[in-house]
A and B are shown apart, each in its own frame.
Chain A
Amino acid sequence: MTVTPEQAFAPRDLGPVGDAPTAAPHVIDVREAGLRETNRILRESDGTGRYLLTAPRGAHALAVGLTEPDEVVIDGPTGYYTAGMNDGAHVTVNGNVGVGVAENMMSGTVRVTGSASQSAGATAHGGLLVIEGDAGARCGISMKGVDIVVGGSIGHMSCFMGQAGRLVVLGDAGDALGDSLYEVHIYVRGRVESLGADCVEKEMRPEHHTELRELLDRAAVTGVSTGEFRRYGSARTLYTFDVDNASAY
């Protein structure tokens, strides 16, 4: 255990959680309890729980399918699909995460203090995913309403076929950002390697500064001006197939 329960649930770490549960922290050693038992305990919680998961050792499918507003801190790096399909829980990973963190999340928050592998927040419908480090390729792929804030940079083909939600990147974006985009709002502070098909830079109007400010505040990002960001979105030329657009595919 690199943090004590008291440190793990210190008020400064709560971020966007809001009204935190008040129950005493429940420490689960994932190595001893095993994946199925750990997930069973979390799944059967009533929403007032505070859980500190220690020794995750890169486990896949940890804290998946949670449906109550419990607070879960995972102290160490995790594997694939951490907090997958989360629907209401507030999950923090002290470390890096593997592929597909918070995939198909419906609501709640997932915060990663390290970096994420590819497909972070894939197809997620709602909630807030914060990655304090970098995210790999295809971050926010097919996102359907989730808000994603990445403190570092993101890889290529990010937000590919993104349908709804907001993607905020404080670092740089790789090739083909927002390819075949639908209605996602993308904000990038750094350099964009290239834009994908049908993705264009758009004007930052006052409502976009307001939206971005609110997202940065929810993600507990400080010391950054919304004026440092550029906005990208869909040109909507591929919404209805037209043979004249065939070269875009």
Chain B
Amino acid sequence: MQTAPADPALRESATFPRSVIHEIQRAAATGIYDIRGWGAKRKVPHFDDLLFLGASMSRYPLEGYRERCGTDITLGTRHATKPLRLDIPVTIAGMSFGALSAQAKEALGRGASAAGTSTTTGDGGMTAEERGQSSKLVYQYLPSRYGMNPVDLRKADAIEVVLGQGAKPGGGGMLLGQKISDRVAQMRTLPRGIDQRSACRHPDWTGPDDLAIKILELREITGWEKPVYVKVGATRTYYDVKLAVKAGADVVVVDGMQGGTAATQDVFIEHVGIPTLAAIPQAVQALQEMDLHRKVQLIVSGGIRSGADVAKAMALGADAVAIGTAALIALGDNDPRYEKEYRALGSAAGFYDDFQDGRDPAGISTQDPDLARRLDPEAAGRRLANYLHVLTMEAQTIARACGKSHLTHLEPDDLVALTMEAAAMARVPLAGTDWIPGRAGREL
């Protein structure tokens, strides 16, 4: 963490601020790139750059706390005989046991279940705690296939084929040896204490045509009951979504560059991928051109923090959102009550991102049994459920103000942009104008 210089005459370089100087010095001393968790820290165009047009004369608002605003969604209506019905359009993104403690995974399940939504396994297989506490659980089918087995596959409520992650599209994972406990090693079929490298691509297929056959195999194994999601990191989103849909996905998950990770190179997190805001219109366009928007559902993740973000993502065309980093914060990640311990680790509450070290004072991103015991799964689950309820109520408040009786009724016409960049990326007009960069003007 940086502090202000004592001498006000000192002038920091815009090109070489202290964080950059520190990284150069660190790289020179160690010879290895910085690995960390969390997501992108640089500021990129985001939902904050959009505003809603609440109803006045030309639109009619709904009465808060009086008129209903629906929040339920159904995922997997295209092919699955048992689609996933959720009470709220906010889901928990995939985070692995291994990266997270068993207590944290259990807490995610408890919180999600209390709020009527799903949680997702991650790159480490399914734990009994997680399945036991998750009323709806999405089982990730990842390149590494750690802990993958047909028994757990059939226990899942949906399957998510992961091709990429917003924090590191095209990259694999790195779980450092200090987090490979006996249990993690057993689940991942690895010797204890070694660095575990997760593959960046699936070992038994090489492209979209193969993906279609892989999805067929998963459906055959599970009797065509469960929705099959395909998750991509946001990059060439328009093409990736089209190919995922063509391969047979029931649901497409697009994870923007603000999405979190357990551990990868800092340079990867900050410099690969596109912002969530820019990815949604591309995904929606792809679905609309295939006449499958709302028929193949779209889940968007990467930097979702508030009900406003939820509402904006849905207004741009998403059917639901997924949260990862925000969910960890709700559990107790970076809690100020551990300030002294964060300081001892060379960080501070609100800044801690060394998830790979396994020394998380909050007991969340760790396999140390003493640290992990600090997290009470019931209390943490309640905090997450509270947070999910707040996100939902906030989104409902905005939707009612826009005259919508269901969150899925929000639309791009409800939005304007504060900046030209956001207007161009989100494909909504600059506030106070009818101008969408890249498009001809329209009649008001």
Residues on A facing B (Cβ under 8 Å): 35-36, 39-40, 43, 60-61, 64-65, 67, 79-81, 84-85, 87, 99-100, 103-104, 106, 118-119, 122-123, 125, 138, 141-142, 144-145, 160-161, 163-164, 180, 182-183, 239-241, 243
Contact = CB atoms under 8 A, between A and B. Distances in A.
A132 B216 CA distance: 27
A141 B150 contact: no
A35 B223 CA distance: 11
Could you tell me the dominant secondary structure of chain A's interface residues?
A: loop
Given A85-B149, A123-B203, A141-B204, A182 B191 contact: yes
Interface in B214-239: 214, 216-217, 220-224
A161 B213 contact: no
Interface in B1-41: 30-32
Given A104-B148, A144-B145, A60 B190 contact: no
A12 B210 CA distance: 36
Given A60-B213, A99-B205, A104-B148, A142 B191 contact: no
B141 to A, nearest CB: 9
Nearest to A60: B213
Interface in B155-210: 174, 177, 188-191, 194-195, 197, 199, 203-205, 210
A80 B210 contact: yes
B411 to A, nearest CB: 38
Contacts of A161: 197, 199, 203
A65 B203 CA distance: 18
A164 B203 CA distance: 16
Nearest to A160: B203
Interface residue tally on B, bucketed by range = 20 to 34
Contacts of A160: 203
Given A80-B213, A239-B191, 11 more contacts: A36-B224, A39-B220, A61-B220, A65-B220, A87-B150, A87-B151, A104-B148, A122-B204, A144-B145, A144-B189, A183-B191
A65 B150 contact: yes
B262 interface: no
A183 B191 CA distance: 8
B153 interface: yes
B127 interface: no
B144 A67 contact: no
Contacts of B190: 163, 182
Given A39-B220, A61-B213, A80-B210, A67 B204 contact: no
5 contacts: A80-B214, A84-B217, A87-B150, A138-B204, A141-B203
Contact of B149 (A43, A61, A103, A104): A104
Contacts of B199: 142, 161
B150 A67 contact: yes
A142 B203 contact: yes
Contact of A60 (B151, B191, B216, B223): B216
B371 to A, nearest CB: 22
A36 B217 CA distance: 10
Nearest to A40: B223
A37 B216 CA distance: 14
Nearest to A80: B213
B149 A87 contact: yes
Given A104-B149, A241-B195, A81 B217 contact: yes
A81 to B, nearest CB: 4
A239 B195 contact: yes
B419 to A, nearest CB: 40
A119 B191 contact: no
Given A99-B205, A100-B204, A64 B220 contact: yes
Contact of B221 (A64, A99, A100): A64
Contacts of B210: 80, 99
A36 B205 contact: no
Nearest to B32: A243
Contacts of B153: 65, 85
Contacts of A67: 150-151
A145 B146 CA distance: 12
A153 to B, nearest CB: 20
**Closest 9 pairs between A and B when the two form their complex, measured CB to CB:** A65-B221, A100-B204, A119-B204, A243-B31, A123-B145, A61-B217, A122-B204, A239-B194, A144-B189
A101 B353 CA distance: 41
Nearest to B150: A85
A125 B154 CA distance: 17
A247 to B, nearest CB: 12
Given A106-B150, A138-B203, A239-B195, A164 B217 contact: no
Contacts of A60: 213, 216-217
Interface in B228-286: none
Contacts of A79: 213
Interface in B65-123: none
Contact of B214 (A43, A65, A81, A106): A81
Nearest to B177: A240
Contacts of A104: 145, 148-150
B189 A163 contact: yes
A64 B217 contact: yes
Given A80-B213, A99-B210, A106 B221 contact: no
A161 B190 CA distance: 11
Interface string B425-440: 0000000000000000
Given A43-B223, A85-B153, A100 B205 contact: yes
A123 B141 CA distance: 12
A145 B189 contact: yes
Contact of A125 (B189, B191, B203): B189
Nearest to B221: A65
Contacts of A80: 205, 210, 213-214, 217
Contact of B194 (A100, A118, A240): A240
Contacts of A36: 220, 224
Contacts of B217: 60-61, 64, 80-81, 84
B126 to A, nearest CB: 14
Interface string B381-412: 00000000000000000000000000000000
A137 B386 CA distance: 51
A10 to B, nearest CB: 29
A112 to B, nearest CB: 15
